Structure 1
Amino acid sequence: MIPEEVARSPYVSLVTFRRNGTPVATPVWAVAEGGELLVWTRDDSGKVKRLRNGARVTVTPCDVRGRIAEGAQSLEGTGRLLEGSAALGRVRKAMARKYGLRFRLMDGVGALVRGGRRPHVGISVTL
């Protein structure tokens, strides 16, 4: 179950870990759905590379710049990549429901700039 504070937050700090154990935090949009937290990102991003090496993650509600409010609870979890058209469609629909026009514009304009390509992957976080 995803805590309400994480589910309602417009951004969460997703921390993935380098092979040497160094944490790397990235503020991302995330949607709680079906007991997991879904994230949308480029398939060549650092967080995807780090998740290919290890599934350990932490998430904390944050602002657009990744600043975490005093007293915000960090939760440990497991991240897994969601690839394939069905999985990506599910993540895209969940993002569009939560973020509406902002997500649709970002996704549509990005695809237009890239000539129709959508080099994205979903991330599922189980806490």
Structure 2
Amino acid sequence: MTDPERMISYTFAEGSLDTTITWRLEPEGNGTRLFLEHAGFDLDSPMGKAAFDGMGRGWPARRYRSRTRRYVISQATMDHTLTARLASGKYLLVTSYRRNGSPVSTPVWVVQDGTALGVWTTADSWKVKRIRHRADVLVGPCDLRGNPTGEQVPATAEICDQTVTARYRALIARKYGLIGRLTLLGSRLRRGLTGTVGIRISLTE
């Protein structure tokens, strides 16, 4: 397998035909196009020549559509798995953009909100102002100091209302234990409940 998020390649009819099938995803407009390549036919052997002639017009459309559906489902599952993996980490690096387009990266605590990620921060923070102006961000795993520890992927961020923010506070208290609860308490004493907001981050498909 090569580039598991975009391409998969494997041997077809190993031990007899020994050809290679490759499925590849390419962005196109607002969607994705799936390409299929069946290569490696041995035209010097009777079996290889017969297989090549038999498939000369390509795979049957019915099989192609079926494969497409299964692969799209696999992609959706993979995206959900990535969200869960990022949410399970202790820190998430969120990169937002200034008005001049320059990126600013900030490490934050993270929780899972269904198929999205949840972040909690002060309402008057610069990252909140940047996200209100421009919703596209990059997110990925990092350490306490904000050093990336994995791939940073595109996502869309939105500022949440107080109902969702309260839910994020509860999730943070549950995930981060005593440190999380003490941080939440200190924030409430200093800023009140309206002094912080949640940020919902959805990975870009």
Q: TM-score, normalised by structure 2?
A: 0.57
What secondary structure sits across from 1:65 in the alignment? coil
- Runs of 5+ consecutive residues of structure 1 not aligned to the other structure: none
Decide which structure has the larger Cα Rg and report it. 2
After superposition, the C-alpha distances for 1:6-38 in whole angstroms (9 at most, x for unaligned) are 122100110001111111000000112200100
Q: Which residue of 2 aligns with 1:37?
A: 117
* Residue aligned with 2:186, SS: helix
Equivalent residue letter for 2:158: R
The CA RMSD over aligned residues, in Å, is 1.4
The residue that corresponds to 1:121 in the other structure is 197
Counterparts of 1:49 and 1:59 in 2: how far apart (Å)?
17
User: Is the aligned partner of 1:79 residue 2:162?
Assistant: no
Q: How far apart in 2 are the matches of 1:2 and 1:76?
A: 15
Equivalent position amino acid for 1:107 in 2: L
Choose which of 97, 100, 104 in structure 1 pairs with 2:181.
104
**2:168 is the alignment partner of 1:95:** no
Instruction: Work out which of the residue numbers 99, 104, 108 in structure 2 matches 1:19.
Output: 99
Inter-partner Cα distance in structure 2 for 1:7 and 1:110: 22
CA distance in 2, matches of 1:2, 1:54: 26
What SS class does the counterpart of residue 100 from structure 1 fall into?
helix
Shift of 1:52: 0.8
C-alpha spacing 1:98/1:30, structure 2 compared with 1 (3 Å): same
The one of the two structures with greater contact order (alpha-carbon pairs below 8 A, sep at least 6) is 1
What runs of 5+ residues in structure 2 fail to find an aligned partner? 1-79
Q: Which stretch has the larger CA shift, 22-31 or 100-109?
A: 100-109
Q: Amino acid of the residue matched to residue 34 of structure 1?
A: G
Fraction of identical pairs, as percent: 41
- CA contact 1:2–1:36 (8 Å) conserved in 2: no
Question: Structure 2: how far apart are the matches of 1:73 and 1:22?
Answer: 19
CA offset at residue 55 of structure 1?
Answer: 0.4
Q: Which residue of 2 aligns with 1:46?
A: 126
**CA offset at residue 2 of structure 1?**
5.2
